[in-house]
Amino acid sequence: MCGRYIMVQKAEVIEKRFEAQVPAGFSFEPNYNIGPGQWAPVVVGHQPRVLQLFRFGLSPSWAKKDMMLINARAEGDHNRDDSALYTGARGIIEKPAFRRPIRSQRCLIPADAFIEGTITEKLSKPFVVYLRNKVRPFAMAGIWEVWKNPVSGAEVHGFAIVTTAGNELMRKIPHHRMPVLLNPGDEAVWLNPEAPLYKITRLLKPFDEDLMNAYPVDPAIKSPKASGAGLIKPVGQPLVAETEVVVSRHMRLQGMGNVKQKFSDHMPEERMGE
C-alpha cells in the first residue's frame, strides 16, 4: 500500500507543472508526511485547469459511514502474489467502491516523493522513493468520489491512490506494491472522463525502475503527527548507486518548498558527472 507521500512544492510550481490554476481560498502548506485524512492538492478530470484540495481517503457515495479508502488495487482481487509480470484483468473496474470512479472520476495526485516501508517492518523501516534527475513534482494516478455524511449532510471530496505491483526497485526495499505513476504524456488521457476504458487500464502498470531510486529515513515519519523537513533526512545510502549523489547538510532544493527558505538534511541532490 501507499499511505504516506511528500508534497512540498510551492503552489506556483504545481500550477506551472500541471497547467492548473490555484483558485481563491486555496491554502496548502508544504507537507513532508501527507497521510490519510489530510487534505492535499489534486487535479480532477472534470476541471483539469483548476487545482483543488481533496481529502486523502475516499468513501463511496453509497457508503453509510466514512470508509476512508486510501488505496485502490489496479488488479482488484487478482494477482494476489503481486507479481510485476502480471498482465491479466484489472479488477479495479469491477470493485463496487471503485468501478464508477475508475471510469469517470480520475485525478492526478501531485507528489515529490512517496514513503514506503518494508513488507515485515512496514513504516518502522521507511524509505523515501523518488524519481531520478530531480523530476518533481510527478503525478500519481488517483480516483475520487463525493461522500455525503448522512448525519450532518456535509459533503467530503476524497481521493485514493491507485496501486499496482512493485517494480524491481520496490522489491529491493523490499515492498510488494507501489502507486501507479503516470508519464506526463499519459496524464491527459487519465484525466479525460470520456477516454475508453481500455486506454485507462493499460496505464495501470509498474513504473520504470531505472527512473527511480530510494533511500532510508528515520522511523519518526511513522507517526502521522510528525512533520518537518528533518523527516526526509537520509540515514543510509540510496538503494541504487547513481553517477554522483551528493547529500548537502545545508542546501536549497530547486522547486522543493519555498525557494527563499534553506532546508537542511533534505533529499539527495543528484549531480551528474562532468
Mean pLDDT for the chain?
Answer: 90
Whether 15 is catalytic: no
Cβ(132)–Cβ(238) below 8 Å: no
- Which grid cell is 4? 504516506
What's the pLDDT score for residue 249? 33
Cβ(67)–Cβ(145) below 8 Å: no
Could you tell me where the DSSP H helices lie in 3-73? Answer: 11-18
CB within 8 A of 261, min separation 6: which ones? none
| Other residues' Cβ atoms within 10 Å of the Cβ of residue 23 | 11
pLDDT at 218 over 60: yes
pLDDT tens digits along 180-212: 999 999 999 999 999 999 999 999 999 999 999
Cβ(19)–Cβ(49) below 8 Å: yes
pLDDT tens digits along 231-250: 999 999 999 998 644 433 33
DSSP annotation string for 57-87 = SB--TT-SS---B-EEETTTTS-TT--TT--
Q: What is the DSSP letter of 126?
A: E
N-term to C-term CA, the chain: 39
Q: For residues 269 and 8, which has the higher predicted lDDT (pLDDT)?
A: 8
C-alpha closest to that of 166 among 175, 158, 157: 175
Q: For residues 257 and 21, which has the higher predicted lDDT (pLDDT)?
A: 21
Alpha-carbon gap, residue 114 to 116, rounded angstroms: 7
- What are the structural domains, with CATH classification, of the chain? 4-228 (3.90.1680.10)
Which of these is catalytic: 2, 107, 187, 209?
2
What's the pLDDT score for residue 175? 97
What's the pLDDT score for residue 243? 66
Which of these is catalytic: 75, 116, 145, 209?
116
Alpha-carbon gap, residue 34 to 6, rounded angstroms: 6
pLDDT tens digits along 93-146: 999 999 999 999 999 999 999 999 999 999 999 999 999 999 999 999 999 999
